[in-house]
Amino acid sequence: MSLTLRTAVIETAQAMSAAGLSVGTSGNVSVRGRRGFFITPTGMPYASLRPHDIAEVDWKGRAEGSRLPSSEWRMHLDVFAARPEVGAIVHCHPPHGTSLSCVRREIPAFHYMVAVAGGNSIRCARYETFGTAELAAAAVEALQDRRACLLANHGMLALGATPQDALKLASEVENLAGQYLRALSIGEPAVLDDAEMQRVLEKFRTYGQQRPRPHLAWSSQK
């Protein structure tokens, strides 16, 4: 199990880098384990990572292994503690999401797909110094009833049941951030109201689920 989780961290971190969501050694990835969580080490290129490089941090914040954990281990620890349903966290510094975070602007419901993060906006957490308990608290606050947020003057955080889910959400939020920035270059985007977003969120509860159905109401049968 340990090897599987360590490998999942490596594969997700490498995919995050390949997708352009983080450059160099910026960002970090973690996966929940039984005794705590596994997280990318600090300051190591993702391409060079091997399973033994992945740090394990227990629920009291004690790290094990030959490498020091990411400087943001506390943020991962506090998010996991606050959100027991979360199995993996992706923290990245993507171009569009980070640009919005630097003007401390959340992503409102300019597009219905904002609901992919769990609400009618993607909040921007207040600024705090990286690697601190204060940043961890700001992230937990911004993620209340959400699966993703921006971090002011810093980057993005995305949560998922699995590493693949968290990475997919990070990519979707970055795409939305890019669309929002382009819309802002034309004018102030129209924002969907709360009632409409509530309808969208309800539809998202079963969005993408495929189940065998004997008959569909919109069938072309005569």
Residues 152 and 124: beta-carbon distance below 8 Å: yes
Question: HSE (CB half, 13 Å, CA atoms) of 218?
Answer: 0
* Residue located via tokens 């998010």: 79
Give exposure, 157-177, as e/b (b: 16+ Cβ within 10 Å). Answer: bbbbeebebbbbbbbbbbbbb
Closest CA to 2 of 27, 25, 36, 28: 36
User: In angstroms, rounded to a whole number, what is the distance separating the alpha carbons of residues 111 and 159?
Assistant: 20
- Active-site residue list: 72
User: In angstroms, rounded to a whole number, what is the distance separating the alpha carbons of residues 82 and 80?
Assistant: 6
